[in-house]
Structure 1
Amino acid sequence: MSQLVRMFLVVFVVAIGLMYATVYLNSSEGYSGGNTLTVYNWGDYVDPELIARFEEETGIKVIYQTFDSNEAMMTKIKQGGTTYDVAIPSEYAVSKMKAEKLLKEIDHSLLPNLKHIDPSFLGLSFDPQNTHSIPYFWGTVGIVFNPKMVGDLTFDSWDDLWDESLRNNVFLLDGAREVMGMGLNSLGYSLNDTDEAHLQEALAKLAKLTPNVKAIVGDEIKMLIANEEAAAGLVWSGDASEIMTENEELDYVVPKEGSNLWFDNMVIPKTARNLEGAHKFINFMLDPEVAAQNAEYVGYSTPNKDALAFLPEEISGDKRFYPDKELTERLEVYNNLGPRMLSHYNELFLEFKMHRK
């Protein structure tokens, strides 16, 4: 065999190997098109039975991948190496992704079930015409607490967290916007405040909270509080619901000074190849019965007004997770503060964490 033929065979074998590798990577890392749909979501944030039902009803195979932060999700989509057809970012991430042209417009004519969304959850500041996002879940940030461990404290005010009786007895979730927002709200300021004097005032007040802070943690906060490792914790409402399912002694409240009203949303990233399938999936998740089943599984509040009829009364009638207008009017959506200010919030939060050591 001549050297030229041998070289040709080597190149041919390598090329075939690369082709199969590409096919494999595409299938495992989010290849979409035809009868395949890649959904990029938070962990355990959809009922697996609904994925199976969607596949059965449409014949579309769903590849379900997860992320643990909006920033990680945005970075992956911005890189563009992986195809995602539907993603579930939070509201401030939607605003940022729109500005950076990371999203495709959504065709409302392909979403007949959009009519089931409560109008008060549409047309919000981060996407005024809902051209790029559709509400998925919503909730609040507040305090979950164990009444038998906190004496007379009711946490009607954020200031209760600073009570000296809670020394080494409070968990905080590991989020700059949430913790800084709590500090700002406790002083009567907006959780979107960018006034440096107000930010420093909030940081100084948070420093006084450190004797009460047992730990700043991630997802493990749910297990720790359910197991009564601390008397109270700063949490998202969905986590509070899950914690309270594990330990019925616990309660949840949003303090009177106000807090965050957050939304997670269905979007179609710029990487999408299966646009028809993406719209089918979004419309499927907007079906009232589907939305109700998903809300019951996940534990977060659904923006689907017609889904409430399919939820047990103990869920849909629970004012802690479906609060009345009087409370929601005191809540704020996180604004996209821009990279410089977001970085500053993170720096202040890091300074607070370092102060604890």
Structure 2
Amino acid sequence: MKKILLTLSLLCLPFLAGGCSSDNRAELTVYNWGDYMDPAVIAQFEDEYNCRVNYETFTSNEDMYVKVKNSSDTYDVLVPSDYMIERLIKEDMLQPISKDNIPNLANIDASSMNLAFDPGNQYSVPYFYGVLGIVYNTDQVTDPVDSWNILWNDKYASKILMYDSIRDSMGASLKRLGFSMNETNETNINAARDALIAQKPLVMAYVTDNVKSLMASGDAAMAVVYSGDAAIIMSQNNSVNLNFAVPKEGSNAFYDNFVIPKNAKNPELAEQFINFMLTPEIAAKNIEYVGYSSPNSPALALLDSSWSDNTGFNVSKEDLARCEIFKDLPNNVMEIYNRAWTEINVSK
């Protein structure tokens, strides 16, 4: 997911042997998206397992990958997305997870298990999922929001927010043109680039987390966002009328899973952490904090009824059926995307 950079260290007092810090508490280092876990449940885990959680966040899968790959820092738990999990498995950077130590895996709906990026879930455990779409102000947007084309409508000039992410914004442009979000043909990728460059004069800004305040204030009419961010914006705002739509051309469906790096210092505590986060009551708290769709069926039953009416949270089967999961593209193809993204960024 797609959040702001933040570093937290959540502390507890008791002692647990194994992987200990200088003050004799067990340590668990977690690397996750920003705003993607309720701090209260982290504190609860620390209390129940007598440990210290060092919690760091990243803003993109690529930033996470570079740090984990090249830094001397080590992590016990990561929360990457589907295509990045596929890459980490290919590069032998993950260790298998013992399902015997994750009994709460039984709470996860089968639709989020055994997906192509990790067949059999040997290396990953589902956390959240969602889709890319458009959140829009129903008072300002008078046209149907059923196609990516509306982002190129000059009627909404300077009221359009794009997502500051190469795969996502390029993906939206590709789908609008009838191509796959995993396009590898250079001509088609460049066509999507040219469309985004042509659109640039209509765009207020390319944003990440500040999309929430800009949509909640009414400053923007529409934004490319993931469903969970839309759900939070809609649930926390009563002064602006908002809705969320997945364009008919299709979009990206993502699955963010827990994984354990091969060089983790405390893998046993990491599995306890993952199992704890799959407890229905804990998962429900995270849902209410994060806003993304959860595959944890017992947790869904604990939610307030207001969540069932939230179009950002309730991703329909029809919407999911039109979506595709990002794949880990070859390096030579990503070089084409990176060049295209640079040209979009410098255009005016």
Give the alignment's TM-score, normalised by structure 2. Answer: 0.88
CA contact (8 A) 1:40 1:65 kept: yes
Aligned residue type for 1:74: Y
SS class of match (1:192)? coil
- Structure 1 spans left out of the alignment, 5+ residues: 1-26
Aligned counterpart, 2:261? 269
Aligned residue type for 1:123: N
2-side partners of 1:98 and 1:56: how far apart?
Answer: 32
Q: 2:329 aligns with which of 326, 329, 337?
A: 337
Q: 2:277 aligns with which of 282, 285, 290?
A: 285
CA contact (8 A) 2:130 2:315 kept: no
2-side partners of 1:203 and 1:352: how far apart?
Answer: 7
2-side partners of 1:318 and 1:240: how far apart?
Answer: 9
Give the length in aligned residue pairs: 325
Q: 1:86 aligns with which of 77, 80, 101?
A: 77
2:100 is aligned with 1:114: no
CA contact (8 A) 1:225 1:243 kept: yes
Aligned residue type for 2:31: Y
Rg (Cα) greater in structure: 1
2:36 is aligned with 1:45: yes
2:224 is aligned with 1:224: no
2-side partners of 1:343 and 1:222: how far apart?
Answer: 31
Aligned counterpart, 2:65? 74
Aligned residue type for 2:225: V
Q: Structure 1 residues 33, 316: CA separation in 2 closer, same or farther (over 3 Å shift)?
A: farther
Higher helix share: 1
2-side partners of 1:88 and 1:49: how far apart?
Answer: 18
Q: Which moved more, 1:219-228 or 1:328-337?
A: 219-228
SS class of match (2:191)? helix
Aligned counterpart, 2:224? 234
Q: 1:299 aligns with which of 279, 288, 291?
A: 291
1-side partners of 2:233 and 2:309: how far apart?
Answer: 18
Per-residue CA deviation, residues 12-45 of structure 1 (Å, 9 max, x unaligned), is xxxxxxxxxxxxxxx9xxxx81422111112222
Aligned counterpart, 2:149? 159
1-side partners of 2:165 and 2:64: how far apart?
Answer: 16
SS class of match (2:83)? helix
Per-residue CA deviation, residues 61-103 of structure 1 (Å, 9 max, x unaligned), is 2221222222222222223522211111111111111111111
CA contact (8 A) 1:288 1:304 kept: yes
CA contact (8 A) 1:77 1:102 kept: no
CA contact (8 A) 2:46 2:52 kept: yes
1-side partners of 2:201 and 2:35: how far apart?
Answer: 34
CA contact (8 A) 1:308 1:316 kept: no
Equivalent runs, 1:22-33 vs 2, <5 Å? 33=19
Q: Structure 1 residues 64, 207: CA separation in 2 closer, same or farther (over 3 Å shift)?
A: closer
CA contact (8 A) 2:82 2:257 kept: yes
Q: Between the two proteins, what is the percent identity of the paired residues? A: 45
2-side partners of 1:92 and 1:79: how far apart?
Answer: 19
Aligned counterpart, 1:61? 52
SS class of match (2:129)? strand
Q: Which moved more, 1:264-273 or 1:202-211?
A: 202-211
CA contact (8 A) 2:129 2:292 kept: yes
Aligned residue type for 1:290: I
1-side partners of 2:67 and 2:135: how far apart?
Answer: 33
Aligned residue type for 2:106: K
Deviation at 1:110?
A: 0.8
- Structure 2 spans left out of the alignment, 5+ residues: 1-10, 12-17, 21-25
RMSD of aligned Cα (Å): 1.8
Per-residue CA deviation, residues 118-143 of structure 1 (Å, 9 max, x unaligned), is 11111111111211111111111111
